[in-house]
Amino acid sequence: MGRAVRVATVVMVVVGCLAFDAGFVAQRLAHAESEVPATNPFSGDEKAIKEGRSWFIAVCAPCHGPRANGAAERGPSGADLRVFKRGFEQYVHVVKNGRETGRIGKMPSWGKVLSEELIFQIGAFLETLAIEGAYWGDSEDRPR
Partner 1 sequence: MNRIFTRLVGVGMVVALCMAGGAGWVQAQEEDAQAGVTDSMLASAPAASWLHGNGNWAGHRHSLLTQLNPSNVGDLRVAWIFSTGGKTDAQATPLYHDGVVYQAQDNTVFAIDARSGGRLWKYVHELPEDWGGQFADFFTGKHRNLAISGEYIYFLSNDTKVHAIHYKTGVAKFVQPYMHYPKAFEKSDDSNGYFGTAGPLAIPGQIIIPLNATDMGGLPGYVAGISPDDGALLWQANMIPGPGEPGYESWPGDSRDYGGAGPWIVGTWDPDLRMYYTGTANAYPFNAVPRGNGKYDNVGAASVVAVNTDTGKVPWRYTVVPGDPWDYDTMQTPLIITIDGRKTIVQPNKTGFIHYLDAATGQFLRAARFSDKINWADGYDVEGRPLNQIALPEQGGDTLEVWPSVFGGVNMYPAAYNPDSGMIFLPATNLGMMYGYEEVKVISNVRNLGATFEFLFDREDAYEVNLALNLKSGNEIWRDQKTKWGFAGGMLSTAGGLVFYTSQNADFQAVDAASGEILYAVNLGTTPKSGPITYMLDGKQYVVQAVGGVPGWGYEEHSLEHGNLIVGLSR
CB of residue 60 to partner 1, shortest distance in Å: 10
Instruction: Decide: helix, strand or coil at residue 74.
Output: coil
Under the phi-then-psi rule, with left for phi > 0, alpha for psi from -120 to 50, and beta for the rest, what region is 108? beta
Which of 55/142 has CB closer to partner 1? 55
Q: What pairs with residue 100 in β-bridges?
A: 106
Each as own residue / partner, the long-range contacts of residues 25-34 (CB below 8 Å, 24 or more positions apart, any chain) are: 33/89, 33/93
CB of residue 124 to partner 1, shortest distance in Å: 17
Instruction: Decide: helix, strand or coil at residue 82.
Output: helix
CB of residue 47 to partner 1, shortest distance in Å: 15
Which of 105/133 has CB closer to partner 1? 105
Q: Which residues bind partner 1 (CB under 8 A)?
A: 54-55, 57-59, 61-63, 65-67, 70-77, 103-106, 108-114
Which of 30/104 has CB closer to partner 1? 104
